[in-house]
Amino acid sequence: MDTQSLLDQAIKARKNAYTPYSKFQVGAAVLTRNKEVFTGSNIENASYGLTNCAERTAIFKAVSEGEREIDTIVVVGDTEGPISPCGACRQVIAEFCDINTKIILANLKGDKVETTIDKLLPGFFYAKDLKQ
Ligand code: THU
């Protein structure tokens, strides 16, 4: 699965965004290590804080179908530069990826940046911290 195909799927998923409040649509696509693809869009709520970002939607779809490890995640929005995930999403991405996971941030103009979780969220809270 190449990056362009994942980006195309994220752009398509973006069209399903439910954004009556911000009108800001975001799409995401997750490729798992089992080579399955899950897409997501942001889903807003009249109680604004209950909004679910696109990348969390895609990750939760993957995890709820039994997937646990992300190979690549692509996020796309109509931003000036590549979109930047919120802090909550960074922590959720951290749960299911490692330093080899490709995190690709993009916009509709074709700007793209590839990064890793240690750059996006240095010092993130890690599952192993819970183990005694
Ligand atoms: N949003 C995402 O879905 N992903 C991001 O990476 C940034 C922000 C959504 C949340 C909300 O629906 C809208 O964009 C404006 O914040």
Residue 62: other Cβ atoms inside 10 A: 24
Catalytic annotation, pick one of 55, 67, 69, 95: 55
Contact at 8 Å (CB) between 76 and 107?
yes
Quote the ligand 1 centre to 132 CA distance (angstroms).
35
Mutate to test the pocket of ligand 1, among 14, 16, 23, 51 (most ligand atoms within 8 A of CB): 51
Q: Is 22 in the pocket of ligand 1 (CB under 6 A)?
A: yes
* Structural domains of the chain, ranges and CATH numbers in brackets: 3-127 (3.40.140.10)
Mean local confidence (pLDDT), 2-25: 98
55 is catalytic: yes
Q: Is 83 in the pocket of ligand 1 (CB under 6 A)?
A: yes
Condensed to tens digits (0 to 9), the pLDDT of residues 17-26 reads 999 999 999 9
111 SS3 class: coil
Condensed to tens digits (0 to 9), the pLDDT of residues 92-120 reads 999 999 999 999 999 999 999 999 999 99
Q: Is 37 in the pocket of ligand 1 (CB under 6 A)?
A: no
Condensed to tens digits (0 to 9), the pLDDT of residues 52-97 reads 999 999 999 999 999 999 999 999 999 999 999 999 999 999 999 9
Q: Apex CA 118: angle with CA 14 and CA 5, to 5°?
A: 30
